[in-house]
Chain A
Amino acid sequence: MLGFYWPSSRGSEEERVTAAGAWGPNAWLRITPDDRIEILAEKPELGQGAWTYSAMMVAEELEADWSTISVQQAPTIPSIYPGLHTGGSGGVAASFHHLRTVGAQARKLLLIAAAARWDVPLSECNARNGSILHVPTGRHLSYGELACAAARLTPPPLESVQLKPTNEFRCMGRPMPRVDVLSKVTGQARFGIDVHVPGMLHAVIARCPHFGGQVAHFDATASYGVPGVRMVFPVRPLPRRFNTAGGVAVVADSTWAALQGRAVLRVSWHQGRSGQESSERIHRLAVAGAEGAAIYVAVDRGDVRGALRSAATTWQADYESPFQAHATMEPMNTTVHVRGQTIEVWSPTQFADEIQAEIAALAGLAPERVTVHMTFSGGSFGRRYQWDYAAEAWQVAAQVRQPVQLLWTREDDMQHDFYRPYNYQRLRAGLDGSGYPVAWRTRVVTTPIAATNLYTDTVETPEKLRDPATIAALEWFGADVTPYAIDNCRIDYAPLESGVPRSWWRGVSSSYTPFAKECFIDELAHLAGRDPLQFRLDLLPEHEPAAKRLRAVLQLAADAAGWGTPLPERHGRGIACRWGSTVHAQVAEVRVLEDGTVKVLRVVAAVDCGLAVNPDGVRATIEGGINFGLTAALCAEITVEHGRVVQSNFHDYPVLRLHQAPQIDVHITPSVETPSGAGELGAMLIAPAVGNAVFAATGFRVRRLPIDARQLRRRPAASGAFQSASLPPNERAFDLS
């Protein structure tokens, strides 16, 4: 491996050539004389394939030989690398233009260097597969052979380089193997938990389990009796910006000694102001919130009230989903070494630049004094967009003054997550005489993210958190019925107070709003006596571009799933779709066993995400999203008692296992449009697709997740697929008075 290279945004010739002779035309790329190409990826690799798509974007424009490419994480220098974070399925779209430009700039310089070497016109030279070819004579020079000469040229500004037309792509759009796959089948991939620094100690923290509580008293006598335990000391809770619990740190020579030291620590807690909170209380408040005043009206089109009043049929239903944990396979951890006025951090994170800024602020240092090494993350799903665990690791390391790795156990991770918000949605609709929906109303009630998480794209100051639009911003998205053509529509929002920390979870609000919206659409289809696919297609205007894309993926998924073909008893198919920059549809096929267990047999997904940069990566992330969403739909939930999380490990938060994983077929719409994200799609639609399939199989309408198998026992199968009479008796049209 080459010597560590600190790139510069200006890039003099000296800076462009490292001691090892590698040429760096820009900060993202190095080419060595022996034809190795190294790409510095800004986006962290969490499993979503960031390193691979980053390399593909550069390689495409560089016309590189894929077998010569390696990738490493770009260092945390935000002034040079502004994109050291990822989230919201935005990585591909955010990187697409820039990384192509990076490759194209280098290609241009290599072409100029080759033309000069041969003294031929530039127009006679072509770049292809890691070499420049002089077309008339067939001479060629490899990129490595040209690197030294290219280094003497002044790179053209990135803004000025010309990109390849999409019809000349040779790499993007084809399934490419992951650049990290070898390290991940041999145990060589290094995650945060694998960091070892000479002289490193190991720490765990006994945290106050009650949110907002604190240490009342602790006695470390027994802890100090454990061989290897070095230090036991209190760690104060950090304010909301970090939202750490605070507690007592146990620092030892080994992880096991630290765990043993914590196990025998005597500690008592003050419960704090959230001590009375419970899931049952949150549910009661939510039901009240479904009818109380809204703080924010997100969508208000037409005259919903009037349209509901004059509708031939009205319908109402409530949908509820609980808190959910991220439960990444690698629990939170961070290693920190505080050396006087400099700090070195190794962290599995999706937000390295923020960790640098936050630790610098805590320590009272300039950000440049904090070096952050972003490691592989063992899953993230939004969890590692928080920096609480890194801040805690700094708190411990600042006391210890030697390198220390803070490890969260699974129990710590399960009980101190930033959970997917609890949410409750009340939907009302009115149909005209022909069964067409003319009015739609959704009240979204959640424990809002903004109240426990200062960082959002729109929040810079605590004052802004009093702004209803800011509070609602992350909570209702995905609830709007667009592009379904329903003229009268109102979506509003009411928050719930809770001390439970909340944050991003794969799909954010779109992990729960489609569950309500797409199941309720299904309810309306049955109410109207219509096929749920045709009902949706009829709601999508013929000539509207977004609606057209949505129709295409709906039809693609339905055709591939054999929509409408007969199924055995207690089997059913359900369909769901969502619209955004990426459009997506899923058909789930389920079998409901006699004991009520829902077996998802097959899921067919259709996606239009523009150009699928790495189609196999798109497939993998949609498969993964579906499995992730199935845990929330079928298996697990987080509940709260006495202001603390009840669940603690995989015995009471049972995530999906292999025998429960359905066959998944992903169909990608061919496209050369600008790519858009796919990382959260699978998780968005699997709950409504399965819920609708369960209805088709049993006539029971799932309105709360995870699905309660007890409610599905020994119920008679639906006698006809689309009979509203098969709705359970608790259904009722609402009273408008």
Chain B
Amino acid sequence: MRRVTLSVNGRTDTMEVDPQTPLLWLLRDALGLTGTKYGCGIGLCGACTVHLDGVAVRSCQIAAGSIGSRKITTIEGLSADASHPLQRAWIAEQVPQCGYCQSGQIMQAASLLAENPHPTTEQIEAAMSGNLCRCGTYQRIRRAIERAAAGG
């Protein structure tokens, strides 16, 4: 067990944990930030996607002790009021069905657009193909990203 300090959504929390604990479980169990989901535990589904210093990562693959001072953003911290262009586009395209994977999808897409504001279809496919959706909302995800990239 070790003292670990995490900066999540602009707030700093210090806790006594096993430093090997994946960030995913600290977010969910210790900090109550349940918008980040468990889906596979091996980095293959993207449901647990969060940002480390603005870049999308799989929180199930990041040990708490390895994060250091890097800033973590979860879906709860993406915007205060669902005003992020991707959240607005997700609503406009009526993307979610069950909704379970959508936090991870949106965080992945937000990282893509931050780096590349006008991605091609191929770039969208490359960036989003690590995020699974069993309800099959892929067509709408694609459209929502294109909509956000085009300015809403």
A residues sitting closer than 8 Å to B (CB atoms) are 46-49, 177-178, 180-191, 193-194, 196, 202, 227, 254-257, 260, 327-331, 376-381, 407, 409-410, 616, 620-621, 623-628, 649-651, 655-659, 661, 663-664, 682
Verify B35–A181 contact, CB threshold 8 A. Answer: no
Chain B residues within 8 Å of chain A by Cβ, number: 58
Interchain nearest-CB distance for A271 vs B (Å) = 26
Verify B141–A187 contact, CB threshold 8 A. Answer: no
B residues sitting closer than 8 Å to A (CB atoms) are 1, 18, 21-22, 25, 28-30, 32-42, 44-45, 47, 74-76, 82, 87, 90-91, 94-103, 106, 124-126, 128-142
Q: What are 21 A-B contacts with C-beta separation under 8 Å? A: A183-B99, A184-B102, A185-B82, A185-B87, A185-B96, A186-B76, A186-B87, A188-B35, A189-B99, A190-B34, A193-B34, A256-B22, A328-B134, A329-B98, A378-B98, A410-B40, A650-B44, A651-B42, A659-B129, A661-B138, A663-B139
Query: Contacts A190-B34, A196-B32, A410-B41 given: A624-B137 contact, CB under 8 Å?
Result: yes
Provide the bound-state CA to CA distance between A46 and B87, in Å: 21
Verify A649–B128 contact, CB threshold 8 A. Answer: no
Verify B136–A329 contact, CB threshold 8 A. Answer: no
Q: Which of B33, B99, B106 has its CB near the most chain A CB atoms (within 10 A)?
A: B99
Verify A655–B134 contact, CB threshold 8 A. Answer: yes
Verify A180–B140 contact, CB threshold 8 A. Answer: no
Query: Contacts A656-B136, A658-B138 given: A181-B100 contact, CB under 8 Å?
Result: no
Verify B34–A381 contact, CB threshold 8 A. Answer: no
Verify B29–A254 contact, CB threshold 8 A. Answer: yes
Contact of B40 among A48, A191, A616, A650 (CB under 8 A): A650
Interchain nearest-CB distance for B130 vs A (Å) = 8
Contact of A193 among B37, B40, B132 (CB under 8 A): B37
Verify A658–B21 contact, CB threshold 8 A. Answer: no
Query: Contacts A187-B76, A658-B141 given: A193-B97 contact, CB under 8 Å?
Result: no
Query: Contacts A625-B136, A661-B136 given: A256-B18 contact, CB under 8 Å?
Result: yes
Contact of B100 among A257, A379, A410 (CB under 8 A): A379
Chain B residues lying within 8 Å of A194, measured Cβ to Cβ, are: 28, 34
Interchain nearest-CB distance for A383 vs B (Å) = 10
Verify A256–B138 contact, CB threshold 8 A. Answer: no
- Consensus secondary structure, chain B interface: loop
Provide the bound-state CA to CA distance between A172 and B55, in Å: 42
Interchain nearest-CB distance for B51 vs A (Å) = 13
Contact of B1 among A193, A227, A664 (CB under 8 A): A227
Verify B94–A329 contact, CB threshold 8 A. Answer: no
Interchain nearest-CB distance for B5 vs A (Å) = 18
Provide the bound-state CA to CA distance between A376 and B42, in Å: 24
Chain B residues lying within 8 Å of A327, measured Cβ to Cβ, are: 134
Chain A residues lying within 8 Å of B106, measured Cβ to Cβ, are: 185
Chain A residues lying within 8 Å of B97, measured Cβ to Cβ, are: 47-49, 379, 620-621, 624
Contact of B94 among A257, A620, A625 (CB under 8 A): A620
Verify B134–A651 contact, CB threshold 8 A. Answer: no
Q: Which of A178, A256, A327, A616 has its CB near the most chain B CB atoms (within 10 A)?
A: A256
Provide the bound-state CA to CA distance between A178 and B97, in Å: 9
Chain A residues lying within 8 Å of B129, measured Cβ to Cβ, are: 657-659
Provide the bound-state CA to CA distance between A46 and B33, in Å: 21
Contact of A182 among B37, B39, B45, B82 (CB under 8 A): B82
Verify B126–A659 contact, CB threshold 8 A. Answer: yes
Verify A376–B99 contact, CB threshold 8 A. Answer: yes
Verify A255–B29 contact, CB threshold 8 A. Answer: yes
Chain A residues lying within 8 Å of B37, measured Cβ to Cβ, are: 191, 193, 329-330, 378
Chain A residues lying within 8 Å of B136, measured Cβ to Cβ, are: 623-628, 656, 661, 682
Verify A649–B42 contact, CB threshold 8 A. Answer: yes
Verify B125–A659 contact, CB threshold 8 A. Answer: yes
Verify A185–B102 contact, CB threshold 8 A. Answer: yes
